[in-house]
Amino acid sequence: MCSRQEALILPMALPCLDLDQPKIELFLLERALQLGDVIKLCTVETMESSSCTPPNTLRVSINDNAFFVDKRTLSENCEYFRALFQSGMKECRQEEIQLHSVGTQGFLVLLQVLAGERPMLNSDQIVEAIECAAFLQVPALTKHLINIINSENCLLMYHTAATYGVLELSRRAALFIRDMYPDLREDVHTLPNKLVEYIESLLPSSYMAVCSHSPSTELLEDVQRTVCYLDEEHRGWRVLTHLPGSTSTTMAGVAVLDNKLYIIGGVHDWTAMSGHYGNSKGSLLTAVVRGDSVFTLSRHVTREYTVDDHRWRVKREMEGFGRIGSIYTFLMRLPKATTSLMGNCRDVTQGQNLRDLKLCPKLSPQCSHKL
């Protein structure tokens, strides 16, 4: 099966033996079973040397490096190869293709991601991976790059993605930078002016909270039906708006999608979420991640943490959210004009009169079916 392997076995096995041909063949068979891994390796080497690839396998050559990849995997995950295989051109029938616009490291990262791995990348790998995602059009690779954005690589991600036209990655990196802007301000201004201007045009995300409450009449000013946001500059909670009177967060699920607040279920409807993430006391989990920071909330204190080497470090403390009932927390991007108008709507938990709530806007009842 592999003459090269037989040449390795015979010289060391036969000189001291006086065997007839059948015994020699039996001996070689036993040795073959013992050295199965070596023979397998030899078979691979022979296949490579003869340029013989398995069916449905494409040999991809990049800078004198060869990768054997399943054509179906490439077709399902890479827009470039899908278009190539469907084009009918002679290249789609070749067993080998050379890529000149991507680097070896970037293509290796691509193969790792398609194999289900989630590799952490250094600067060179990030640049080549973005280059690969741009040229080969690989959504899975772009998604992985988005998932590993952090304060150390966000500027590189943003600049490189903008350069190569990976728009979704560029946008997500810019949003990350906007949320971390106070910590990255000096580094941000090393970017080209157009990129800096785009970051500054974005809205930062705000830490939001709403308590559980039941429906109430519009005639009652119910503090439990207010949606609040954290005023980080003054380290206090401010009322943003009222929910419609018919809306209930009791026995409901609260979520944000596309910067819209959804309250699903409640006492009037069947609740899809029968349970919630909870801590040891059974209350709702009130931790939210923004950039490299984690916000936690209690009725006594709001804390912002940073995570360094898997350890939580308190970055700052602000006033708590002194409401009764379970607390739901989330992130939303509030227009600057909106938050400035809301500045008059102070948090009534700090001793203000309930009449102050009348200054705050209310969501239209017509929107209640969306909440």
Domains of the chain: residue spans and CATH = 3-49 (no CATH), 57-201 (3.30.710.10), 209-370 (no CATH)
Residue 173, φ and ψ in degrees, nearest 5: -65, -40
**pLDDT value at 32 more than 50:** no
Residue 360 pLDDT: 55
- The residue written with tokens 């006391």 in the block is 281
Task: Report helix, strand or coil for 55.
Answer: coil
Give every CB contact of residue 102 below 8 A, 6+ residues apart in sequence.
62, 128, 131, 132, 135, 136
Contact 213, 325 (CB under 8 A): yes
Residue 159 pLDDT: 98
The count of C-alpha atoms lying within 13 angstroms of the C-alpha of 34, restricted to the half-sphere facing its C-beta, is 7
Residue 64 pLDDT: 86
Higher pLDDT, 46 or 27: 27
- The residue written with tokens 């910067």 in the block is 259
Single-letter amino acid, residue 343:
G
Contact 111, 69 (CB under 8 A): yes
Residue 301 pLDDT: 87
Contact 177, 184 (CB under 8 A): yes
C-alpha of 330 from chain center: 17
Contact 190, 201 (CB under 8 A): no
Sign of CA dihedral 233, 234, 235, 241: negative
Q: pTM for this one?
A: 0.66
Residue 8 pLDDT: 36
Higher pLDDT, 291 or 180: 180
Nearest Cα to Cα of residue 239 among 360, 368, 333, 367: 360
**pLDDT value at 314 more than 50:** yes
Residue 102, φ and ψ in degrees, nearest 5: -130, 155
Single-letter amino acid, residue 256:
V
Mean pLDDT, rounded, of the chain: 73
Contact 180, 291 (CB under 8 A): yes
Contact 325, 211 (CB under 8 A): yes
Contact 98, 59 (CB under 8 A): no
- The pairing of beta strand 96-98 with beta strand 57-62: parallel
Nearest Cα to Cα of residue 126 among 99, 100, 144, 101: 144
Contact 332, 206 (CB under 8 A): yes
Residue 280 pLDDT: 31
Range of weakest confidence among 163-172, 257-266, 290-299, 320-329: 257-266
What are the pLDDT digits (tens) for 96-129? 888 888 999 999 999 999 999 999 999 999 999 9
Contact 24, 15 (CB under 8 A): no
C-alpha of 23 from chain center: 62
- State how far the Cα of 9 lies from the Cα of 26, in Å rounded to an integer: 13
Task: Report helix, strand or coil for 3.
Answer: helix
Residue 292 pLDDT: 78
Overall average pLDDT of the 340-364 stretch: 47
Residue 312 pLDDT: 77
Give every CB contact of residue 3 below 8 A, 6+ residues apart in sequence.
none
- The residue written with tokens 């419609």 in the block is 244
Higher pLDDT, 29 or 221: 221
C-alpha distance from residue 227 to each of 37, 238, 258, 268 (Å) = 65, 9, 18, 20
- 301-308 β-sheet, strand order: 287-290, 293-297, 301-308, 311-319
Contact 177, 155 (CB under 8 A): yes
Contact 342, 360 (CB under 8 A): yes
